[in-house]
Structure 1
């Protein structure tokens, strides 16, 4: 790095958001490059699963703040003389806390993002726009990564371009007609696990199926009262009866979800008239209900003798039930067995006994139930057990339940490793990719700092702006003798219709049933959809209808809570009905947007799982999947771009890397440039 670039880094004030996989590599690179004024913000603590790629952390750091430990580890790289000159401030905090507002951001010359979720990225993007501070964004997935540069007035903001959104699955598909592994995994995690092991009052869509089967048609009855009673009946079924043993309870649940419910669904002939749709089959519950080995494993406490804990019972019920049963191969379908005999191991991995899933379902389920009861006893309240991808029992139960349901519907079963990835939305990270991306962030940051240092309107600033690049680690078959490289492209221009940086020019239309949706449901939906932190909702006719924040008066809180329960059409000012414009603000993000509501009744839940239609003018709405990579532009014989060489462009080639690139954002082919 040239001396001028080093001088800029050492004299500039930098904000790093995120101290995880990319953040560790980035902080190390910044310190080595002689950056001296750095703030780091990260809410997360160190987990054992981080240690394989977040190299600033060690076993002794597990449970400690990522930001604080990263600071200490990075400073340790430096000799004492330089250590005294390097100021690194660590914040173990949430970037959305009020102290990290627009005024806080204004003190920095550039913000460097190493976050792992779109919601937080949008929040930082809006603060950078409001504070007029450039943002260098980044992300990796496996061996694919990208670094993008966002400078107000020069390039697009982070939200100008479509981003992948979480896939929503219709409840009726999950409950009645699953046909993919992800369907059965979501059913096992979000319906069955939550219903069995959630806290008091939890009623999922699985229990609502019980409601529908038990409701009666009585013209004189109160529908709301009937629904409440039905909820109580449904919730009661998924709790052990008085005196019922945990193992017997799990057998009863097994019979309900893998036998009785399957019989009911089979009776819905209209579901199976579709050509090629296979009717589900029931499972033989009687062969599993009296297995002594499973009962023994389910009842065991694996806490080590003499091990101290606030709750030794809970500690002992955290161990793997599958391993205790001898099913210790997490990469084999349906809980395979590791064996010293190669033939036996291969046979088990390729065609494991179907009973393995049932055994693990019962054993892990009993242990989870016992843990839930032990926690409720020690806490004095039943808050339940939440799903955690790093909880062996939770992932085993979800995998087993999913595989059993897959057997019913003829869907391919999964290994614990694969199911854990899908249930936990895990993006497998590679340390090398993080290191490459961190280096690219610093390379781009030094250009941004040159831009900031140049006089506004000067030729120098314009020249530096032309050097800014978005850089992608992508498949590149045109590179002679290789498949992969780093591909720089010119940043996208700002989208005139962007509802974030376009001055509200982009219009949003939301179509829904205004006679069904409540104000609270609308506010919750818009808050999540638009990644707002503290939304304020108003209409011209009724004024302010909804607001969130810690500084509200008691009477304001009471008013908003009352209005939140009302149907949209019943709100003051003639309600929110067809054609009403809703004005949304988030003062913490300096964000304003208008949403036009259209009334549409009877939306098909299969086609619209969220029971609404979200339409953004100009086509900048979030998309389910990023577009596939287009063919890169043709190059001349020596591998150089027809556009000519550029000193700031970089290509790195690794002929041994192989990577899947489904659903990975690709650079615009028409702007591809390489040397």
Structure 2
């Protein structure tokens, strides 16, 4: 029995090094449910393979695919796992080996029975996902699935149109509807009516209908029983839990914790939903479209069933007329919400595009359908109920003419795209020059889509992709162009090579680079590079890089496609020259930080102790070795340290201790060091804190000091048999040994031998020590008050240091923080350090997984969101290639697959200004001068514009100000602008730079200060 339980436990073990980013979105329980489930995907054109790819990456138990249809050349327009040599083979047989490479934990097989007619063969699956399946067949399979408790999903795309339908049966339980982290807080009062007030006007963050539990409430023992209580919000700082009769009278203290309560959904069958459809609205600007497309997709299926399985021909009016007739008949069957009349223009366009197949639409619905599959298996997040329709008709080109002739197949891999856009627009796509910044998760998906649509494959097209990062194992879960043998290789090179295999026409058209895009690489990404581009696409994971690329795009007036994901959330933004605001026009809210006083002495949340644990890691294993190495390598290190204020003594004592007092010669001494570290942090320091602030302390207003957010701590007594204590000692000893180049060990018998014979000195709290009591109080140990300016004491420490010459060649090795290496003890130490601190303060401990998320500042990510967001970006890229020049042609997107929610809006217009009678675009306009004119000539140019320049600067160099002395100005008036820059900044203008950017302050004709654009002057090398 024990062996069986161990086997089951091992079966449920999740490879966190592979799934780490996904785990932070779905959680362990959802992942375990998925890992016990079998999925069938029917249909392996572009949409089917996208769904299957995302499911395989997510980590189900097994997946089967079914599609006996022979591969056609046009399938290559969106099916990225098919090759020209696969034409004639069955789609399933050709695709299965490449799907199987994605995730070694997910076996992928070909479903050998007829999945359409042999319904019993479906009984072994938990989810069946249908694509490229007629409505009649969907009805039969849906009926069987409902009778056998199998979750059912169907999805299809037709050109720029698509739909999805979900049926998870009766009584489907959603265990977490939103995926948001449960909120918690500290209580200041619960009145007799059950009104709960959060501490110090802290927003509670709850909504009506939420549930909370309570703990540590004094005077109301009956409320601490863990019973979830329903919330009615009364205000941002108060909420009601109803009657509290019989629970006691509130005295003080207490915490509340939100609890996710299961929600039950009852799905209707496909046959019921066809006539009484429920829609999830994908675009509120098109609220009336779902019912029209609901009828239209049924009409297409009916058309195919009466025309030998063939969909309407591209741009064919005769076929479109038949579709409209069928739609009119189907409309009569709609029992609820039927339209007053058929939208003939819309459904004609649907008919025109029915044979079209676009990679970004497959990416959009492939991400959505895969996420719905994971919801069915895990119960995590709210499903689509039950139909959703989406279109991107705005992506149709207007710069080229579509005719029936221009949309006919030409024997090209792009025929399914030509069926939608026509041959002329396909040529535009192929002759585009695009720059992709980043080759991570979004970058991989972007390149895949670009390869499918044929971007840059023409004679004048090109793609440049740059990424300085190498591939890590955790990338393989969502950066699908990479495989296990690629770990350690450069992302940009592997990604470029992978998509060139998907579309060999990219060979010679895609250039991979390894440079970071920033000021230090402007010689590489120079003016010629930027001016030669048609557009830029960001696939970045940090704000700083995004801002820099955005500014470059603004300067060179290049369109920018921006996007990002956070778990199930995603956003897209289009930056349009001379039309829209840019990425930098708005800012994300600042990253949340914790007051240092709280972290250092008064934590009340696990997040506080994790932040503290990260600081302890740096102060023990990173900063000291770095200081030692600087002391040994820089002759003036002591001199520069003594000139600092505040922490000279700490730095010098650290160097002394790490080179002499605490320098270990054996690993046993590292164990002793770790034991003393434990004693100081979790016993001595706590005793000292309680000596300064005893548990019965009161404030000057008479209230208990240890109340509200302040939790009174207790010292810990070391016990090697306690797992948390053990983890700390093992990690600390091994990291200390790493600093000194000693071999570590995890042999507990060695630790026990060392620690059993070790004497721990008694600690007696010191008087006179001051500790900051509140975040708003001044730090009593800051600056001169710390006593660190005692020069005699500092001199004695310096004299005690070993001379660098006696340690020639000696170096310590800092433990540079790396969160994804499970063997380096970094996260192990921070987890143990944080949890011991939590035990000091009576805070619920966190596992390694949560600690890693917070300490490593990890961005949760899943493949489904990335695929969907990238699809939206490429739909906007079509518009840019077309040259659309109105804001309302474009869409910024905001999605949350957990809810699910889709929101779209046109980009915000760039800010406008005015000087004298001239209107200007504050973002995109500038004053251009094509020659390297003198300062006097520049000032005269602006006088002619009715502007009086009061200040002129280049970077940090002030070149001109109206208050400068006449003599100083006389010297500068005759200088060329490049000469003036070199004179004032003491630096030469780089030889290759053709543009100099100047900021100005100016007054208008009335003498009023006005906001004006910047100046761009060509250099002498232009």
Is the deviation greater in 431-440 or in 239-248? Answer: 239-248
Change over 3 Å in CA distance of 1:537–1:169 after alignment to 2? farther
Aligned equivalent of 1:410 = 842
| Of 477, 480, 484, the match for 2:900 | 484
CA distance in 2, matches of 1:356, 1:89: 52
CA distance in 1, matches of 2:686, 2:565: 41
Check whether the contact 1:13–1:109 (CA below 8 A) recurs between aligned residues: yes
Asked whether 1:256 is paired with 2:686, we answer no
Check whether the contact 1:130–1:590 (CA below 8 A) recurs between aligned residues: no
Asked whether 1:502 is paired with 2:922, we answer yes
Q: For residue 100 of structure 1, give the secondary structure of its aligned residue in structure 2.
A: coil
Asked whether 1:94 is paired with 2:519, we answer no
What does the per-residue CA deviation read over 1:449-490, in whole Å, with 9 as the maximum and x for residues that have no partner? 222xxxxxxxxx54x5421110121369xxxxxx42433211
Aligned equivalent of 1:397 = 829
CA distance in 2, matches of 1:173, 1:358: 23
Check whether the contact 1:24–1:56 (CA below 8 A) recurs between aligned residues: yes
CA distance in 2, matches of 1:70, 1:379: 41
Check whether the contact 1:126–1:589 (CA below 8 A) recurs between aligned residues: no
TM-superposed deviation, 1:433: 1.2
Aligned equivalent of 1:215 = none
CA distance in 2, matches of 1:101, 1:446: 27
Q: For residue 147 of structure 1, give the secondary structure of its aligned residue in structure 2.
A: strand
CA distance in 2, matches of 1:502, 1:61: 46
| Of 862, 872, 875, the match for 1:443 | 875
What does the per-residue CA deviation read over 1:575-597, in whole Å, with 9 as the maximum and x for residues that have no partner? xxxxxxxxxxxx999877799xx
CA distance in 1, matches of 2:479, 2:595: 37
What does the per-residue CA deviation read over 1:505-543, in whole Å, with 9 as the maximum and x for residues that have no partner? 9xxxxxxxxxxxxxxxxxxxxxxxxxxxx9646596999
CA distance in 2, matches of 1:202, 1:174: 24
CA distance in 1, matches of 2:527, 2:663: 56
What does the per-residue CA deviation read over 1:155-201, in whole Å, with 9 as the maximum and x for residues that have no partner? 11101122133333332222112222222112111x21111111546
| Of 335, 341, 363, the match for 2:730 | 363
TM-superposed deviation, 1:423: 1.0
Change over 3 Å in CA distance of 1:417–1:68 after alignment to 2? same
CA distance in 2, matches of 1:74, 1:421: 32
What does the per-residue CA deviation read over 1:38-87, in whole Å, with 9 as the maximum and x for residues that have no partner? 110111110011011111111111111100110100000125xx345x60
CA distance in 2, matches of 1:504, 1:383: 49
Change over 3 Å in CA distance of 1:281–1:538 after alignment to 2? farther
Check whether the contact 2:603–2:711 (CA below 8 A) recurs between aligned residues: no
Aligned equivalent of 1:344 = none
| Of 450, 457, 475, the match for 1:30 | 450
Aligned equivalent of 1:116 = 541
Unpaired runs of 5+ residues, structure 2, are 1-416, 457-461, 629-641, 744-806, 914-920, 926-953, 969-982, 988-992, 1002-1010, 1012-1022
Asked whether 1:128 is paired with 2:544, we answer no
CA distance in 1, matches of 2:955, 2:500: 40
Asked whether 1:470 is paired with 2:892, we answer yes
Check whether the contact 1:150–1:156 (CA below 8 A) recurs between aligned residues: yes
Check whether the contact 1:126–1:590 (CA below 8 A) recurs between aligned residues: no
Check whether the contact 1:375–1:382 (CA below 8 A) recurs between aligned residues: no
CA distance in 2, matches of 1:274, 1:44: 48
Aligned equivalent of 1:164 = 589
Check whether the contact 1:389–1:420 (CA below 8 A) recurs between aligned residues: yes
Change over 3 Å in CA distance of 1:250–1:282 after alignment to 2? farther
CA distance in 2, matches of 1:422, 1:65: 27
Unpaired runs of 5+ residues, structure 1, are 205-221, 292-354, 452-460, 477-482, 506-533, 544-554, 561-586, 596-617, 619-675
Check whether the contact 1:278–1:409 (CA below 8 A) recurs between aligned residues: no
Change over 3 Å in CA distance of 1:41–1:474 after alignment to 2? same
TM-superposed deviation, 1:434: 1.0
| Of 241, 262, 268, the match for 2:662 | 241
Q: What pairs up with 1:282-361 in 2 under 5 angstroms?
A: 282-288=714-720, 355-361=722-728
CA distance in 2, matches of 1:485, 1:472: 8
Count of paired positions? 428
Aligned equivalent of 1:267 = 691
CA distance in 1, matches of 2:494, 2:664: 49
Q: For residue 579 of structure 2, give the secondary structure of its aligned residue in structure 1.
A: coil
Aligned equivalent of 1:51 = 476
Q: Based on CA coordinates, which of the two structures has the bigger radius of gyration? A: 2
Q: For residue 115 of structure 1, give the secondary structure of its aligned residue in structure 2.
A: coil
TM-superposed deviation, 1:259: 1.4
CA distance in 1, matches of 2:846, 2:477: 24
Change over 3 Å in CA distance of 1:447–1:227 after alignment to 2? closer
CA distance in 2, matches of 1:378, 1:61: 40
TM-superposed deviation, 1:137: 0.1
Aligned equivalent of 2:291 = none
Asked whether 1:231 is paired with 2:231, we answer no
Check whether the contact 2:740–2:813 (CA below 8 A) recurs between aligned residues: no
Asked whether 1:61 is paired with 2:486, we answer yes
TM-superposed deviation, 1:370: 1.4
Change over 3 Å in CA distance of 1:187–1:469 after alignment to 2? same
What does the per-residue CA deviation read over 1:555-608, in whole Å, with 9 as the maximum and x for residues that have no partner? 999x99xxxxxxxxxxxxxxxxxxxxxxxxxx999877799xxxxxxxxxxxxx
Q: What pairs up with 1:207-218 in 2 under 5 angstroms?
A: none
Asked whether 1:146 is paired with 2:571, we answer yes
Q: Which runs of 4+ in 1 moved over 4 A?
A: 199-204, 222-227, 234-240, 375-380, 537-543, 587-595
Asked whether 1:70 is paired with 2:495, we answer yes
Aligned equivalent of 1:11 = 431
Change over 3 Å in CA distance of 1:165–1:468 after alignment to 2? same
What does the per-residue CA deviation read over 1:342-387, in whole Å, with 9 as the maximum and x for residues that have no partner? xxxxxxxxxxxxx222111110111111122118999842241111
TM-superposed deviation, 1:430: 0.9
CA distance in 2, matches of 1:412, 1:279: 13
TM-superposed deviation, 1:119: 0.5
CA distance in 1, matches of 2:625, 2:585: 41
The root-mean-square deviation of aligned C-alpha atoms, in Å, is 3.9
CA distance in 2, matches of 1:42, 1:263: 50
Check whether the contact 1:40–1:88 (CA below 8 A) recurs between aligned residues: yes
Asked whether 1:21 is paired with 2:441, we answer yes
Aligned equivalent of 1:421 = 853
Check whether the contact 1:250–1:366 (CA below 8 A) recurs between aligned residues: yes
TM-superposed deviation, 1:237: 5.7
CA distance in 1, matches of 2:844, 2:955: 43
